Homo-oligomer: A and B are copies of this chain.
Amino acid sequence: MSEPITIDDIRAARGRLTGVARVTPILESPFLNQIAGRRVLVKLECLQRTGSFKFRGGWSAISALEPEQRQRGVIAFSSGNHAQGVAHAAELMGVPAVIVMPVDAPALKIANTRAHGAEVVLYDRPGGESRETLGQSLADERGLTLIKPFDEPMVMAGQGTCGLEIAAQAAEAGVTQADVLVCCGGGGFTSGIALALEADAPGLRVRPCEPEGFDDVARSLATGSRQSNPSESGSICDAVLTPAPGELTLPILQRLAGPGLTVSDQDALMAMGQAFQRLKVVAEPGGAVALAAALYRADRIEGDAVICTISGGNVDAAMFARALDTL
């Protein structure tokens, strides 16, 4: 079965993203190395535009549209990072964007999405029409193109550009054999990185990292069939809570990923505290699960070095204060 994207799609996405997305740094701290018992290279996607890697996929997808299609505008469903990534990419290209957000999304995320020039349409989760129905009718009315958060080839290709950077930066740091721990929701980021590493750094292997109770990808990999989560809420790691792995992303992970790792919400908060104290960066809970796995699941990892992503930093002050309390 052929896969939805190839390394050529990722390289093409990199071409479109050059000069727009940031090449985020990869940092290392002797203090974190000490906790983990090995070198820990941390890829800081919290420093990406809009505070998460999602800008890569948003820009990649919108910039890949035909000009006429692009001019009619785009639509996305998201309460968080995908919303901001798509909205800001559209804003920079002068493309109209409609973002459908739950009415109970954090006020700051709604405000940010609006500040990036998007039209925000709020919907009530329970009872009323589904967001898919609402979104589809808006898309049909206005001729908008739906930008899905992960099961979308050009989004996956955009996220994969982060993997090209990891390959180059790890080699520069002298690391050519290691696990690459990736914060994993639907698998767009993880599968994109996996394909990039397969091509550019075959000694690096992705491993999805998820919150306990929301380890659909880990279980899907372990059992060989697509597993769902029993719930869509109940963890503070909102950025990586998805009902099930993507249909396009899972086969790539089955072919290329190592076993999944899971961490508790408390582990994620502690990792946020370490990122604050040792790297001087802001991680959100879902963006800290891979660092948490690197630090606190060291016995499930092999080798002299491990690479992990901090996938985003869009966290409110009250939640961040909880992370500070772990120090």
Contacts and interface: CB of A to CB of B under 8 A. Distances in A.
A163 interface: no
Given A25-B22, A47-B25, A276 B320 contact: yes
A27 to B, nearest CB: 7
Nearest to A88: B30
A47 B280 CA distance: 6
A5 to B, nearest CB: 28
A273 B320 CA distance: 11
A280 B315 CA distance: 9
Contacts of A47: 25, 27, 279-281
A277 B46 CA distance: 11
Nearest to A317: B324
A324 B317 CA distance: 6
Contacts of A321: 321, 324
Contacts of A51: 280
A324 to B, nearest CB: 4
A115 interface: yes
A25 B282 CA distance: 15
Contacts of A31: 112, 115
Interface in A156-173: none
Interface string A9-32: 000000000000010110100110
A230 B161 CA distance: 54
A162 to B, nearest CB: 15
Interface in A1-59: 22, 24-25, 27, 30-31, 46-47, 51
A325 interface: yes
Given A25-B22, A25-B25, A317-B324, A276 B282 contact: yes
A105 to B, nearest CB: 17
Nearest to A326: B317
A219 B173 CA distance: 45
B327 A317 contact: yes
A47 B24 CA distance: 12
A260 interface: no
Contacts of A115: 30-31
A273 to B, nearest CB: 8
A313 interface: yes
A27 B49 CA distance: 9
Given A25-B25, A30-B115, A31-B115, A46 B280 contact: yes
21 contacts: A22-B25, A24-B25, A25-B47, A30-B116, A31-B112, A31-B115, A46-B280, A47-B279, A47-B281, A51-B280, A273-B317, A276-B282, A276-B317, A276-B320, A280-B281, A280-B282, A317-B324, A317-B327, A320-B324, A321-B321, A321-B324
